[in-house]
Amino acid sequence: MLRLPEQTDVQAGVREAQETIDKFNMAVTLSGACWRVLMLDKEMLLFPLMSLVALGLVMAGIFVPAFAGGDLAQF
């Protein structure tokens, strides 16, 4: 027999969806504020860029030998 969802089940689902949307909106707002701060002081971009370069070097140091050795060829 087909059971219709209880009113409280529906309300809980709507409330959970609204909380997720609110969290996403807050993340977008926070990202925009961070971007405005970075645009006011462009020297603050130096650390994230250096971190990105370092991450790329570490990743290359791991994956280039693995690909060259054929260890990742099976994937």
In contact, 45 and 38? CB cutoff 8 Å: yes
* Cα–Cα distance for residue pair 5/3, rounded to 1 Å: 6
User: What pTM value is reported for the model?
Assistant: 0.51
* Cα–Cα distance for residue pair 59/72, rounded to 1 Å: 14
Q: Are residues 34 and 9 in the same domain?
A: yes
Q: Are residues 34 and 46 in the same domain?
A: no
Whole domain around residue 51: which residue ranges? 42-75
What single-letter amino acid sits at 30?
A: L
Tens digit of each residue's pLDDT, the chain (75 residues): 566 656 677 788 888 989 999 999 999 999 999 989 988 998 888 988 999 999 999 999 988 888 777 766 665
Q: Are residues 47 and 22 in the same domain?
A: no
